Amino acid sequence: MRQTTKGRILAGHGANTLLRTPIIAPVPAGPGDLRCDQPTAALPAAALEGTIGALEQGQTHYVDVPGILPLREAIAAGLGADYRADAVVVTASVQEARFLTLQVLGQDSGPLALPSVVHPGVRKALGVRPLVHRWLEVGDSARLLPSVAAVGAALASGVKCIFLESPSRLTGAVYDAAEVEHLSRLVMEHSALVVWDQGLSQWTASGASLEALGAGAERVTLIGEVFPGVGLEGLAIGFIATSGAYAASLASVKQIVAICTSTASQYAALGVDESYAARRDEIERELRERRSRLLEWLESIGAQVLEGGAANLVAVRRTDAVSAALQERGLAAAEGTAFGAPDVLRLAVAGEVLQ
Amino acid sequence: MTQERRGTEVFYDLIVQAQGYDDAIVLGRGDPDFDTPAHIIAAAEEAMEHRLGEPSPPEGILPLREAIAERVERVNDAVFDPETEIVFTNGGQEALFLMVVAAIAEGDRLLVPEPNYNTYKDSVAFARGGIVGMPTYPQEAFRVDPERVRRTLISGVRALLLVSPNNPAASVISREDQQELIAIAQEHDLLILADDIYDLLVYDDFSHTSPAALRGGKERTLTLNALSKSYAMTGWRTGWVTGPADLMVRVRDLKAAISGPNSIVSQYAALAALTGPQEEMHAMQGAYQRRRRIVLDHLDAMGFSYGVPQGGQFVFVDVSHTGMSSIELSQRMLDEAHVLAYPGGAFYEGMDDFLRITFLQPEDRLRDGLGRMQRVMEALGVGE
């Protein structure tokens, strides 16, 4: 019997395991929910007042597709001299940034290579439309990052676009400055493009390793959350910072997908800009203290902690003992399975859940 | 139209040029001049203070989906389960994109009555599908003739786009035609993509009918709607898709993959719009009625012919007697009168004899803009 149009669509959907990858919510469902990517806090009063003021003054209309200019300037200012405001695209969440970069740059610049252990949102975005891609194995590295050698081999085999996370969204591990420099050289040698999710870099002491990105905006497109950790998580705002060569095509598809990002979210992000550095430092200190206590507890239950320097999360090998201890305390960890690492659990350093 | 540029790019180029004039009067973009009603902003403030830590699934919080279900039943006479048949989106645009990507696979074709809002074509191109255009004609009031649809169907067409009121032609598909179009969809195993975004903006004796409300419609129809036009909320990005539960599983997964849950602030703002006082929304509708009359009177005075807008926030004006293409005339209006009207040729190559003029300015500015247009027409020697 001939398959109906709807039946064919639903069969294709059922077979699309990438698109059906489980999601990770941006804000926790409760105090024991340790699954989220970013910490969150109360939005600064100035940001709230600034946003409401802007809305009351009529900022309730469409704005430029790539975002309001002052916000793009603020984002660019935090990324170094190579990234300019006119090549920043504000997105409706980091997930939209993943989707746009993978589907636009991966399509235009491909073939594409991605880490076999990567944020579930990357798999989902890849599942929206088939793209030629291959996975970069992470080997038995405790960091669960693809090695520089693996990246080099992929580029040598003809890959033209690489998606990387540093810090890893699963372990919080980063490429060190020497590795970043090496990666930069490789992408320049092969005239390739890197999409670099650095959304967790605010919580690493070595987040500055991005300064070793000699390849610059022409070769390295950055994505992440805008000013994470200070209350914007529920406002769903991310960014893409790229070069002029790619900004127009990314904005063009952004226009097709959603026209622009919510003005309330954009003005709230603009409102946290000035106080962000100081607030981020406070939050990172707090996270490190909590993380230390979490590590002590994990050690006490015999958990094997993976290598990673991000203050906001800890990844551990999944064992019956760890699972039982989490269950006993009513804690929910992010499942490594959705990242491509079924034997790993990720715990966000969220609230005072261990007291 | 110039084939080198997509229609959307033509519009954005004109917008940027208009931004260069302090005295520009924009009668192009579909962005209401009204600001969002105060009670909706108050709801956003409350959400920013107290609800930023509230989780949302990708399809939106349940109270909002319940409010959408109630609205769709009341306005469109179509019943959807808020648990499984509604996904809240980043505006009507994301709803449009989701509908197309959910229904059109590589190589599939979407039958599209022309003219239409360009980004349908862009979304189909993203999905690696194809468009089968079916012209509608001013002398038929841009009717989507079911018999012409039937004759236009070719191999590979998997879905039919129905936009009512149409953008930019402002025509409304009658209930009888909708029912006949559903019958064709059943006969040829087509899905229906319905764009109801202007359903509250219908004039004279015309009425809006949603295909999902008709016999045989719901199980094969994905419908988009949004608060952008009717509640002056374009900047909030508040829209939705409704459809049968089986297809909505796919829409939900696509929403999670493309952007994840909307801002919780926009969700509570949308909830306030749907459940709060409706007086301002009704006042805006009344203003559009009055402005429509002003625009039509001026067009009559200028000697233009047009399809009388049955719905929407614009009129599609025949400018063939100027001897200029719509893009040329639009550019001239912008250069000489600092008035932006969208060229029909950028919507559809076959509509290069038309301009789309919106009602989205206060009455005095509308009169000013139309007066400036009249002076350009007189200078061209074609004004009355």
Please say which residue of B275, B295, B321 terminates a domain. Answer: B275
Instruction: Identify the closest residue of chain B to A235 by CA–CA distance.
Output: B263
Same domain, B367 and B270: no
> ipTM of this model?
0.97
Rounded mean pLDDT of B336-342?
95
Same domain, B75 and B100: yes
Pairing of strands B157-163, B191-195: parallel
Are B14 and B330 within 8 A, CB to CB?
A: yes
Average pLDDT, chain B: 94
| pLDDT lower than 70: segments of chain A | 1, 206-211, 351-355
Q: How far apart are the first and last CA of chain A?
A: 61
| Residue B96 in this model has a pLDDT that exceeds 60 | yes
CA distance A280 to chain B (A): 18
Residue B178 inside a domain? The answer is yes
Instruction: Identify the closest residue of chain A to B29 by CA–CA distance.
Output: A62
The enclosing H or E element of B114 equals: strand B109-114
Residue B384 inside a domain? The answer is no
Same domain, B120 and B253: yes
CA distance B248 to chain A (A): 10
CB–CB contact B261 A25 (8 Å): yes
Flag whether residue A9 sits within 8 Å of chain B, measured between CB atoms: yes
Please say which residue of B253, B275, B297 terminates a domain. Answer: B275
CA distance A5 to chain B (A): 6
- The number of domains in chain B is 2
The enclosing H or E element of B136 equals: none
Domain of B140, in residue numbers: 38-275
Same domain, B238 and B289: no
Same domain, B182 and B291: no
Same domain, B246 and B353: no
Indicate which of B263, B281, B358, B361 best probes the interface with A, i.e. most A CBs within 10 Å of its own CB.
B263
CB–CB contact A93 B94 (8 Å): no
**Amino acid at position A216, single letter:** G
Contact list, A60 vs chain B (CB under 8 Å): 35-36, 41, 232-236
Residue B86 inside a domain? The answer is yes
CB–CB contact A129 B266 (8 Å): no
**Amino acid at position A65, single letter:** V
Q: How far apart are the first and last CA of chain B?
A: 27
Same domain, B72 and B206: yes
Instruction: Identify the closest residue of chain B to A57 by CA–CA distance.
Output: B35
Are B346 and B28 within 8 A, CB to CB?
A: no
Q: Sign (positive/negative) of CA torsion B239, B240, B241, B243? A: negative
Same domain, B168 and B19: no
Given the structure tokens 């917008």, which residue do they identify? B15
Q: Where are the alpha helices (DSSP H) in B325-384?
A: 326-332, 363-379
Instruction: Identify the closest residue of chain B to A39 by CA–CA distance.
Output: B53
- Domain boundaries along the sequence of chain A: 24-42+276-348, 45-273
Question: What is the percentage of chain B residues whose pLDDT exceeds 70?
Answer: 98
* pTM of the predicted structure, to 2 decimals: 0.96
Please say which residue of B275, B309, B340 terminates a domain. Answer: B275
pLDDT value for B3: 39
Of A48, A63, A234, the CB nearest to B235: A63
CA distance A158 to chain B (A): 24
Contact list, A28 vs chain B (CB under 8 Å): 53, 55
CA distance A60 to chain B (A): 5
Given the structure tokens 């602030």, which residue do they identify? B265
**pLDDT band per the 50, 70, 90 thresholds, residue B349:** confident
pLDDT value for B10: 85
Of B128, B250, B256, the CB nearest to A23: B256
| Residue A63 burial (CB count, 10 A) | 21
Flag whether residue A204 sits within 8 Å of chain B, measured between CB atoms: no
B127-146: per-residue pLDDT in tens?
Answer: 999 999 999 998 999 999 99
**Amino acid at position A123, single letter:** R
Within 8 A by CB and 6+ apart from A334, the residues are A24, A34, A35, A36, A170, A345, A346, A347, A348
CA distance B144 to chain A (A): 23
Residue B1 inside a domain? The answer is no
Of B127, B220, B247, the CB nearest to A129: B127
pLDDT value for B2: 38
* Residues composing chain B: 384
Same domain, B237 and B366: no
Flag whether residue B104 sits within 8 Å of chain A, measured between CB atoms: no
Same domain, B269 and B299: no
B232-243: per-residue pLDDT in tens?
Answer: 999 999 999 999
CA distance A235 to chain B (A): 4
Same domain, B261 and B361: no
**What's the rounded Cα separation, in Å, for the pair B19 and B90?**
25
Contact list, B15 vs chain A (CB under 8 Å): none
Same domain, B196 and B125: yes
Range 162-201 of A in CB contact (< 8 A) with B: none
Instruction: Give the CATH number of the domain where residue B143 resides.
Output: 3.40.640.10
Of B38, B190, B235, the CB nearest to A62: B235
- Architecture of domain A24-42+276-348 in CATH? Alpha-Beta Complex (3.90)
**Amino acid at position B189, single letter:** D
CB–CB contact A128 B93 (8 Å): no
pLDDT value for B346: 87
Per DSSP (E only), the strands in A101-219 are 112-115, 133-136, 161-165, 193-197
Of A9, A27, A48, the CB nearest to B53: A27
Flag whether residue B231 sits within 8 Å of chain A, measured between CB atoms: no
Give the single-character DSSP code of A234.
G
Of A42, A259, A264, the CB nearest to B91: A259
Of B29, B52, B126, the CB nearest to A256: B126
CA distance B119 to chain A (A): 6
**What's the rounded Cα separation, in Å, for the pair B370 and B312?**
19
pLDDT value for A351: 62
Instruction: Identify the closest residue of chain A to B124 by CA–CA distance.
Output: A256
Residue B79 inside a domain? The answer is yes
pLDDT value for B383: 58
Contact list, A13 vs chain B (CB under 8 Å): 249-250, 253
Flag whether residue A236 sits within 8 Å of chain B, measured between CB atoms: yes
Residue B143 inside a domain? The answer is yes
> Phi and psi (nearest 5°) for A81?
-65, -25
The yes/no answer on whether domain A45-273 falls in CATH 3.40.640.10 is yes
Instruction: Report helix, strand or coil for A52.
Output: helix
Range 341-360 of B in CB contact (< 8 A) with A: none
- The token pair at B238 is 């508040």
Range 31-70 of A in CB contact (< 8 A) with B: 40, 42-43, 48, 51-52, 55-56, 58-63, 65
pLDDT value for B272: 98
- The token pair at A177 is 């400055």
pLDDT value for A352: 55
